Structure 1
Amino acid sequence: MPPPVVTVLLPARNAERTVARAVTSLLDGTLRDLRVLAVDDGSTDGTRGVLEALAARDARVEVLAGGGRGLVAALNLALERAASPYVARMDADDESLPRRLEASVAALEADPSLGGVGTGVELFREDQPVSPTMRDYAAWLNGLTTPERLRRERFVESPVCHPSVCLRREAVVAAGGWAHGDFPEDYELWLKLIDRGHGMYNLPEVLFRWRDSAERLTRTDPRYAHKRFIWVKARYLARSREVAGRPLTVWGTGPGGLILTRFLLAEGARVERFIDVHPRKVGTRIHGIPVDRPESLGAPPEDTHLIAAVGVRGIRDEIRASLGALGWSEGVHFTCAA
């Protein structure tokens, strides 16, 4: 039989309570030509039995043994078994809305320059309200609805909800799949795909229900610690076409800005000055780098680039407005990275 148009990679570990709903939400969708590769990654509850029952009822489901080697290994195992032109992600405790895969595949087929698309997301949890931080993050994600905007914002945070994504399989394989390491594998893959010339964006329609829980890996696994996100960010920022080879100014000397600067320097970048509004910092040196006030910035520079690394809510837009008033163009003269 020919391969389906899309293969869904679904790792599961101890997800007996939620995995049936996750798989069924895919099978009941409007795109019928799919395959679900469900990887039981060393579950000690009834997850394997639930998956095997689903496979017995629907030939589009296949169960693989992940052996408890972790998410990245499970994803790459399923990727090796996929033969379809597109591969989608799914987590064992989320829900796809009916048109998710149909709309995602249609977007990828309409634009060969795309490496992948996510979708608009709706957060939910059953035990308490969704955290305000996650609500803000989802609202930001849901606004990245063009390749240009997502590219512009890619160094602010991970710009795609991982389990909502649908990817061009050949692009992921050529990029080496999901990478092992002490860093967030999803963010690293998005930056790698964009670095390799592929576009990405999030479909404006909300097509995915994303569970917020205390057990999510972003809260429990050190690979997703804030510092590890900054390390990945610095690695690809230093080599990006906006930054590579140019002297840099970093706006922001708070903890995030200084960590980013340290990682940029380790990647061989040249940071020549800081910008900050704190009166006790202006006129001093931090790690030997002078600190100037924003008023020292003038017309757009010819050969340097500014990185805005202030993570305080609302300040990013103020910095954008200040630089825009001076004639600076985002993506040409400056990049937001917090």
Structure 2
Amino acid sequence: MTQFTISVIMPVYNAEKYLDEAIQSILSQTYRDFEFIVINDGSTDKSLEIIEKYKNQDERIVLISRENKGLVESLNEGIKKAKGKYLARMDADDISLPQRFEKQIQLMETEKLDICGCHFFIVDKQCKYLSARVVSCKSDFNNMVLSRSVPFAHGSVMIKKEFLILHKLFYGETIFNKAEDYALWIRFAENNANISNADEFLFKYRHLDDSLSKQSINYKHALALSKHYIRMNYEQLDRVFEKYKNKMNLLNDFELEQFSYFMIKTIFKDKTVEKFRCLKQVPVTIKLINLIRILFGK
């Protein structure tokens, strides 16, 4: 059985508009030791035709084509099929920049990471720039990030397969099946995964209102997950708070947003004076954003 360093897993459902760019971005990676598992999840457009065109050009592509089973089933099927030491996620409407695999695998092996994402650009349907997201590259701080949201764009993630299999971690195995990626990352954290991000922009996340993969997060489930995670991991999160409460100048905007959320959510639990003092240092806009999220579930 042929072994690869990386197995790329990309579910596809009616993605003909963006599929060429997505596939080309993987085949153009500077790091080339990978298999590319593409699951055609019952597409009714020209997606299968596009995938087959590239499969005839590159033997690294492994095509699975069948009836529609949904995103979660497709992801788990790809994991079970994968032969690589690392699993690289990819969405059929996003774009991986050429050095994504090279930079991520280098960091994962150097820092002994179990999951690695990266900074990413947010683009529109025409791939025009909308904004940029700088995530957290502090391994310990990503536990704090999980108290409110995900630490990276789902499609940008690289995972150590051994960790996933050892802890029997698959998608959709909790009651929070409408926020399956957030639920999975929380399960990783609760099994002491080493989570971080490459300190480079290596991914383009396409913002689409009608994208299946982008619709997968349900805010009701996400808020319930956040509450569960804070309750079950409060002592660990409090240690992160202690470490950074006097170093807030070292936090980027994304990290400060997560830090603020945790303080607001737990301000009456203990250390009230300290948290009030810290919150005074947070820009008003960030505090308002988090208050709106907490009050209205947005």
The alignment's TM-score, normalised by the length of structure 2, stands at 0.77
2:80 is paired with a residue whose SS is helix
Q: Give the match for residue 287 of structure 2.
A: 315
Tell me if the contact between 1:175 and 1:193 (Cα under 8 Å) persists in the aligned partners. no
Shift of 1:17: 2.1
Q: Give the match for residue 51 of structure 1.
A: 51
1:261-307 deviation digits (Å, cap 9, x = unpaired): 9xxxxxxxxx9x958xxxxxxxxxxxxxxxxxx9x94479xxxxxxx
- Mapped to 1, the partners of 2:129 and 2:179 lie a distance apart of 22
Shift of 1:16: 1.4
2:120 is paired with a residue whose SS is strand
Q: Give the match for residue 104 of structure 1.
A: 104
With over 3 angstroms needed to count, the CA separation of the structure-2 counterparts of 1:66 and 1:87, relative to structure 1, is farther
With over 3 angstroms needed to count, the CA separation of the structure-2 counterparts of 1:207 and 1:149, relative to structure 1, is same
With over 3 angstroms needed to count, the CA separation of the structure-2 counterparts of 1:176 and 1:25, relative to structure 1, is same
Q: Give the match for residue 161 of structure 1.
A: 153
Tell me if the contact between 2:169 and 2:184 (Cα under 8 Å) persists in the aligned partners. no
Tell me if the contact between 2:121 and 2:205 (Cα under 8 Å) persists in the aligned partners. yes
Shift of 1:92: 0.5
1:179 is paired with a residue whose SS is coil
With over 3 angstroms needed to count, the CA separation of the structure-2 counterparts of 1:297 and 1:165, relative to structure 1, is closer
Q: Give the match for residue 27 of structure 1.
A: 27
1:157 is paired with a residue whose SS is coil
Percent identical across equivalent pairs? Answer: 25
- Mapped to 2, the partners of 1:115 and 1:153 lie a distance apart of 16
Mapping for residues 47-86 of structure 1, pairs under 5 Å: 47-86=47-86
Q: Give the match for residue 170 of structure 2.
A: 177
1:52 is paired with a residue whose SS is helix
Tell me if the contact between 1:144 and 1:201 (Cα under 8 Å) persists in the aligned partners. yes
- Mapped to 2, the partners of 1:193 and 1:53 lie a distance apart of 36
Shift of 1:53: 1.4
Tell me if the contact between 2:127 and 2:206 (Cα under 8 Å) persists in the aligned partners. no
2:181 to 182, 186, 192: 186
With over 3 angstroms needed to count, the CA separation of the structure-2 counterparts of 1:170 and 1:241, relative to structure 1, is farther
Q: Give the match for residue 208 of structure 1.
A: 203
- Mapped to 2, the partners of 1:218 and 1:75 lie a distance apart of 11
Answer 1 or 2: higher relative contact order, Cα 8 Å, separation at least 6.
2
Runs of 4+ in 1 over 6 A off after TM superposition: 128-131, 316-319
Q: Give the match for residue 231 of structure 2.
A: 238
Larger Rg: 1
Unaligned runs of at least 5 residues, structure 1: 245-256, 262-270, 276-293, 301-311, 320-337
With over 3 angstroms needed to count, the CA separation of the structure-2 counterparts of 1:298 and 1:14, relative to structure 1, is closer
1:29-66 deviation digits (Å, cap 9, x = unpaired): 10110111000001001111111111111000011125
Tell me if the contact between 2:71 and 2:213 (Cα under 8 Å) persists in the aligned partners. no
With over 3 angstroms needed to count, the CA separation of the structure-2 counterparts of 1:99 and 1:130, relative to structure 1, is closer
Letter in 2 for 1:87: L
The alignment's TM-score, normalised by the length of structure 1, stands at 0.68
Shift of 1:234: 2.0
With over 3 angstroms needed to count, the CA separation of the structure-2 counterparts of 1:37 and 1:240, relative to structure 1, is same
- Mapped to 2, the partners of 1:23 and 1:95 lie a distance apart of 8
With over 3 angstroms needed to count, the CA separation of the structure-2 counterparts of 1:318 and 1:126, relative to structure 1, is closer
With over 3 angstroms needed to count, the CA separation of the structure-2 counterparts of 1:86 and 1:243, relative to structure 1, is closer
1:122 is paired with a residue whose SS is strand
Letter in 2 for 1:159: P
- 2:119 pairs with 1:120: yes
Q: Give the match for residue 136 of structure 2.
A: 144
Tell me if the contact between 1:218 and 1:225 (Cα under 8 Å) persists in the aligned partners. no
1:242 is paired with a residue whose SS is helix
With over 3 angstroms needed to count, the CA separation of the structure-2 counterparts of 1:128 and 1:163, relative to structure 1, is closer
1:171 is paired with a residue whose SS is helix
Higher share in helix: 2
Letter in 1 for 2:143: R
